[in-house]
A and B are shown apart, each in its own frame.
Chain A
Amino acid sequence: MQVIRDYSDQEIIAALKSDRETDGAIRFIYKNYYGSLENYVLNNNGSRNDAADLIQETLVTFIDIVQQNKFRGESSVKSFLYSIIRNLWLSEMRKRNNADNRNRVFEKGKDTEEQAMVQDMVKREYQKSILDLFEKLGEKCKQLLLFVYYEDLSMKEIAEKMPEYENEQVLRNKKYKCMKSLEQMINDNQDLKTQFKNALRYAG
């Protein structure tokens, strides 16, 4: 069984910014905060499955905010996770209560850090729509773009992982092609930008 070491808040932040340490920090968060985050959802009419989904989304949001250097540590990690899940759950409840509401509507942030969090969550709704388009790409394209933009691998490293492509130049051309396809799908989808601008208006 894997031993999970203790992390201070500062260590969690540092670990989430470092690819090698990220998994350890996520495990620590799961071990120490899963129960109280789940309790929040259960205490508010949610099911265990709702909690499992929401906690994953909370973590994705938190990691994204940390990796974009938008978390300044003015509140504790636990409090911040709590405000994310609270916001996600409230907006989910609103969404469920209103069948016509295609987008989640978030509360206005109460201070600068929370406003940054809310803006990030609004953008995430927009990004989710883009992810739907991303899923329409071929498997090779998806894998390649993840290697480039998530794992931040060099073309040489990717060439080793994708030997079916003859050389780095072929891979580079493939990357342009994949990004062009994704961009074209985004550009052709007029609803996306309207959706984004409307959502931002709610976020305040």
Chain B
Amino acid sequence: MQDNFTQDSTIEQLIKLLDGELTGNEKAAAELLLQNNDAVKDRYENLVAARNAVRLKGIQQRVQSLHQQFYPLISTQQASTETAKVIKASFGSKLKMVVSIAAMFIVIISGFVLYEFSTTTNDAVYADNFMSYQLPVLRGEGSLDNLDSLFNAGNFTAVIRLTETKQALSQKNYFILGLSYLQTGNATEAINALQSLQKVNNGSESKQFADESDYYLALAYIKAGNIDQAQAMLDKIIANPKHMYYAKAKEISNGSLTILKWKQ
């Protein structure tokens, strides 16, 4: 519905002001009106918001278009790392078909179980579930110190060397140290560092990297072959649906960890 403002063409003048189309007296008059009339000022703010929203729409369209170009490449890379099984069959009678399908299922399932059993090892489960961690370093949370920089740059040996020279370690130091040990394949020392972090957290009101340390400690236990301790840690995570690693812990616990327990 049109109102008085649009009827008397004030809006049109405001659009011209917004677009820089007014000059001289016209511009001065429009600016004066804006200063002295709150209702007009509100309408002008609406126009500014409208223009900004249109700009945002343009950016969205552009990013979306590039995303559509880029995303298939990522999906292809992800798909190539997953196993795809294609089954092609040719059958005669219906009975023969049913029997053949059943036999094929038995063969596939047996093969799958055997394959899973033989390929599921501590190292494989660890490697499948380990995700490299990037420190979300933000301004205001302290500047990016040398240790953080080395860690984010993937120089884990230097992180370990530098940490050894420190007299006292913070919760973050322990976390970075634990993950650096994991990255360099030393599960035992990773367990020590992450357990130390959890001890400090237990005695402190400020719990830092609490969820992260649960998950990576479980992975370190798996890598070190301490499956019962890994299970206990995963159970702790699964008991809390709001835990950051709830879904991942559930996935490991229900799947590969069961096989690792059979193999113990």
- Chain A residues proximal to chain B, CB less than 8 Å: 22-23, 26-27, 30-31, 34, 36, 39-40, 42-45, 48, 52, 55-56, 59-60, 63-64, 67, 74-75, 79, 82-83, 86, 109-111, 113-114, 123-124, 126-127, 130-131, 134, 142, 145-146, 148-151, 175-176, 179-180, 182-184, 186-188
Q: Is the CB of A150 within 8 A of B63?
A: no
Q: Is the CB of A42 within 8 A of B131?
A: yes
B67 within 8 A of A: yes
Residue from A111, A124, A145, A180 within 8 A of B54 (CB atoms): A145
Number of B residues near A (Cβ < 8 Å) is 50
Q: Is the CB of B12 within 8 A of A86?
A: no
CA distance A56 to B70 in the complex (A): 11
Q: What would be 24 A-B contacts, judged by CB atoms less than 8 Å apart?
A: A26-B62, A26-B63, A27-B70, A43-B131, A43-B244, A43-B248, A45-B246, A52-B71, A59-B63, A60-B60, A64-B56, A74-B139, A86-B138, A111-B139, A111-B140, A130-B49, A131-B57, A134-B57, A146-B61, A179-B11, A182-B50, A183-B50, A184-B2, A187-B43
Interface digits, B44-74 against A, CB 8 Å rule (1 contact, 0 not)?
A: 0011011111111111111110110011001
Shortest Cβ gap from A50 to chain B (Å): 12
Q: Is the CB of B46 within 8 A of A183?
A: yes
Residue picked from A63, A64, A79, most chain B C-beta under 10 Å: A79
Residue from B6, B43, B53, B70 within 8 A of A134 (CB atoms): B53
- Chain B residues proximal to chain A, CB less than 8 Å: 1-3, 6, 11-12, 15, 19, 42-43, 46-47, 49-64, 66-67, 70-71, 74, 78, 131-134, 136-141, 144, 244-248
- CB-CB under 8 A from A188, the residues of chain B are 1
CA distance A48 to B74 in the complex (A): 11
- CB-CB under 8 A from B78, the residues of chain A are 48
Q: Is the CB of A56 within 8 A of B56?
A: no
- CB-CB under 8 A from B67, the residues of chain A are 30, 52, 55-56
Shortest Cβ gap from A120 to chain B (Å): 10
Q: Is the CB of A150 within 8 A of B134?
A: no
Shortest Cβ gap from B45 to chain A (Å): 9
- CB-CB under 8 A from A59, the residues of chain B are 63
Q: Is the CB of A150 within 8 A of B58?
A: yes
- CB-CB under 8 A from B51, the residues of chain A are 149
- CB-CB under 8 A from A82, the residues of chain B are 134, 136-138
Q: Is the CB of B56 within 8 A of A186?
A: no
CA distance A131 to B55 in the complex (A): 10
Q: Is the CB of B12 within 8 A of A149?
A: no
| B143 nearest in chain A by CB position | A75
- CB-CB under 8 A from A123, the residues of chain B are 52
Q: Is the CB of A110 within 8 A of B140?
A: yes
Q: Is the CB of A56 within 8 A of B63?
A: yes
Given contacts A39-B132, A45-B244, A176-B15, contact A79 B47 (CB under 8 A): no
Shortest Cβ gap from A161 to chain B (Å): 14
- CB-CB under 8 A from A110, the residues of chain B are 138-141
CA distance A152 to B63 in the complex (A): 18
Given contacts A26-B63, A184-B2, contact A44 B244 (CB under 8 A): yes
CA distance A77 to B56 in the complex (A): 20
Residue picked from B19, B46, B54, B58, most chain A C-beta under 10 Å: B54
